[in-house]
Amino acid sequence: MTKQSVFFFDIDGTLLNGEKKLPASTKESIFKLKEAGHIVAIATGRAPFMYEDLRKELEINTYISYNGQYVVLEGEVLYTNPLNMDELIRLTEIAKANEHPVVFMDHDDMKANVPEHTYITESISTLRIDRFPTHDPYYYRGRDLYQSLLFCMEGEEKPYESEFKAFDFVRWHPYSVDILPRGGSKAKGIEKVVEKLGIAKENIYAFGDGLNDIEMLSAVHHGIAMGNGEEKAKQAARYVTLSVEEDGISYGLKKLGLL
């Protein structure tokens, strides 16, 4: 290829395998893309502070966090979309009455409205990050929050979905649900980046595997789902590659003639 392209990669289940490790073939592929003059970015549901080490390892300074709510282009904040604070406070009060913990998240940190809870421990530990939410029930005061986490069993989020139309609820763990601004998505974050860069739509690629990747995979010209991905993600994508455990990123890029 002669034209510059931009590549967006999800993290969990895409860049990282089930053990939260970065396959050597994936790292090599990322640097080959960059050496060829292309732009490589991350598009994840994670908070920025949850993948600083990965960004440093891959030398990536453009990233979409919180499923599109916090977008950084070459180290500079390009776009933010915070939660409706009044509605979040109201939700938190109802959740407290239901004994459903809530974690508040901005670009710097995350704080829980309870000192400790089994659901928080078990779900956050699966991310294998070196940070854990500490207790601060009023962390929302005086700051923008881009995502919150509601901790409840599957199905228990339904009343919240009916009551709070300002939010989207996306389950990522049997014990936890993301709370996001209504209509926010990785696709919207990508739109902001591409608009700023002036990249042609036919030169936009995205790799993902999860339910929060569906909008992204269907919106870009070249959506590639991982072989280990959710069936709905595969249906939304233009292509399906091998699983992350089978060097799916390297395989997919070669199949498309990009490496």
Annotated catalytic residues are 10
Three-class SS of residue 129?
Answer: coil
Q: Between β-strands 222-225 and 204-208, what pairing exists: parallel, antiparallel or unpaired?
A: parallel
CA–CA separation, 81 vs 149, rounded Å?
16
144 touches 80 (CB < 8 A) = yes
Q: Between β-strands 70-73 and 63-65, what pairing exists: parallel, antiparallel or unpaired?
A: antiparallel
CA–CA separation, 169 vs 148, rounded Å?
10
CA–CA separation, 80 vs 78, rounded Å?
7
The answer to whether the Cα torsion of 170, 140, 190, 209 is positive or negative is: negative
CA–CA separation, 22 vs 231, rounded Å?
23
Torsion of CA 151, 154, 159, 160, to 10 degrees: 40
Question: Quick one: the chain helix, strand, coil %, rounded to 5?
Answer: 35, 25, 40
| Residue 1: alpha-carbon gap to chain centroid | 28
CA–CA separation, 47 vs 109, rounded Å?
8
Q: Which amino acid is located at 163 in the chain?
A: E
What is the residue whose two structure tokens read 């990123």? 249
